[in-house]
Homo-oligomer: A and B are copies of this chain.
Amino acid sequence: MPQRLDSRDPGFAAAFAALVDARRDSDADVSADVAAIIADVRARGDAAVAELTARFDALDLDAAGWEIPLAELDAAVAGLTPDLRAALDLAATRIRDFHLRQRPTDNDATDAAGVRTGVRWSAVEAAGLYVPGGRAAYPSSVLMNAIPAVVAGVERLVMVTPTPGGTANPLVLAAARLAGVTRVFRIGGAQAVAALALGTGRVPRVDVITGPGNAWVAEAKRQLYGIVGIDMIAGPSEVVIVSDGGSNPDWIAADLLAQAEHDPVAQSILLTTSAAEADAVAAAVARQLETLPTAKVARQSWDDFGVIVTLPDLDAALPLLDALAAEHVELMIDDPQALFTRMRHAGSVFLGRHTPEAAGDYLAGPNHVLPTGRRARFASGLSVVDFMKRTTFLDCGPQGLAAIGPAGAAIADVEGLAAHAASIRLRLEANLP
């Protein structure tokens, strides 16, 4: 059964603090295993990748082919039903349109002192997309990771995905092709991340690696951070739904279960100002679980990590929302904009009763790769800028250097950096009238 809390109860503060601090991430320490895999790939390249793939995925890469041929990607697209092809096209178009609005603008200005400064953005050359095998191999995830890279202007998109037995998910391949991926390697795990980060004979080195994965993949990204860019470390997914007693309990229940069906350690939380609604939602969840095809996973998540909190009013939701800093927040209330304006920390917010998180997961436009586990306090969802970088620039000219150089040299003096000071003063002296 999910946890039930009332914010007016004397023990609430302590119970809620425990909820905020609870970690649902795996505590398995795979760092030594991953370090050994990275060292092996660094030392032996393709031979290490082939051996590790044989061991973990029972796949002979040289026999199966390291890459999935483009023809297989094209065949996957051709094999889509017309309805699904239209749905994926709509999703790709909408995700592209949203991310086009995120492209940053350059900045170039000359100030009163005559000093020109600015920022110029450019794309990274190559990006690697990790796509898990098994349960979490989702075409929507391919679109959400690949399209921002394409919009950023990345020239080379390389996908890796484990294919135990050699067979890839055709929906994943179709989505990859629709998103603009042209190379897909049949590799996964920490060895695939290491191959992308370091480059091997067969696997090209990339500049940024994104995409979800298991504990080994996440740890490999963390260890290789700095050699490549990575997206945020992702933990188990979560949703917080705020309702005011005026929502359809079945809609709330379905939204809570949509989160819960992802993962036994996903978390679904309802904050409601109505005790009657709290009861009705709990009953609706139980009822829907009876027939839900994904009930096994969803029930475990709901029983272990589900929470229903009853509040006196919507103002009471505000500190809870900011403390939870949740990946997804649904505001199923009369004036969602008013509460959204006042809240501060969330990965993505879904406004109003007619905005199920699932719409955002698939095709509304905003990215579904979002910070989890309270990381929205400081982190953001995946975006175009994760595949770009800024170069700043400066042009003093003789006039600008005359204006600001003396102060710069004075600071260099007290920092004891004599050549810094000299590099400014030699020019100032030469430019004396």
A: which residues have CB within 8 A of B? Answer: 83-84, 86-88, 90-91, 94, 97-98, 101-102, 104, 107, 109, 111, 115-117, 119, 122, 124-125, 138-140, 171, 207-208, 222, 225-226, 228-229, 232-233, 248, 250-251, 254-255, 257-258, 260-262, 288, 292-294, 298, 336, 340, 344-367, 370-371, 375-381, 383, 389-398, 400-401, 404-412, 414-424, 426-427, 430-431
Contact = CB atoms under 8 A, between A and B. Distances in A.
28 contacts: A84-B410, A94-B404, A97-B111, A98-B117, A115-B365, A116-B351, A117-B366, A122-B345, A125-B344, A222-B222, A226-B233, A250-B426, A257-B423, A293-B416, A294-B417, A294-B418, A347-B392, A348-B391, A349-B392, A359-B396, A359-B408, A361-B412, A362-B407, A363-B404, A363-B411, A378-B389, A380-B391, A381-B390
Given A139-B415, A208-B378, 14 more contacts: A87-B406, A87-B407, A87-B410, A94-B404, A171-B415, A250-B426, A261-B417, A345-B391, A354-B401, A356-B396, A359-B408, A363-B408, A366-B392, A381-B392
Contacts of A229: 378-379
Contact of A424 (B356, B380, B381, B397): B356
A427 B37 CA distance: 48
A341 to B, nearest CB: 9
B355 A408 contact: no
Contacts of A109: 101
A225 B222 contact: yes
A353 B401 CA distance: 11
A102 B105 CA distance: 10
Given A411-B91, A417-B261, A354 B251 contact: no
A206 to B, nearest CB: 9
Please provide the 3 A-B residue pairs with the shortest distance between their CB atoms, ordered closest to farther: A366-B392, A87-B407, A257-B419
Contacts of A411: 84, 87-88, 91, 139-140, 362-363
A370 to B, nearest CB: 8
Contacts of A424: 356, 358-359
A346 B122 CA distance: 10
Q: Which of A357, A370, A427 has the most CB of B within 10 A?
A: A427
Contacts of A348: 391-394
Contacts of A94: 404
A407 B363 contact: yes
Nearest to A381: B392
Contacts of A375: 226
Contacts of A116: 351
A411 B83 CA distance: 10
Nearest to A294: B418
Given A208-B378, A229-B378, A404-B359, A418 B351 contact: no
B394 A390 contact: no
Nearest to A119: B102
A292 B414 contact: no
A101 to B, nearest CB: 6
B208 A364 contact: no
Given A396-B352, A420-B261, A378 B207 contact: yes
Contact of A355 (B292, B345, B396, B421): B396
B364 A404 contact: yes
Q: Which of A97, A367, A412 has the most CB of B within 10 A?
A: A412
Contact of A261 (B208, B349, B407, B419): B419
Contacts of A364: 115, 117, 394, 396, 404, 408
Contact of A418 (B293, B389, B398): B293
A395 B336 contact: yes
Contacts of A395: 336, 350-352, 355
Nearest to A355: B396
A228 B250 CA distance: 37
A426 B248 contact: yes
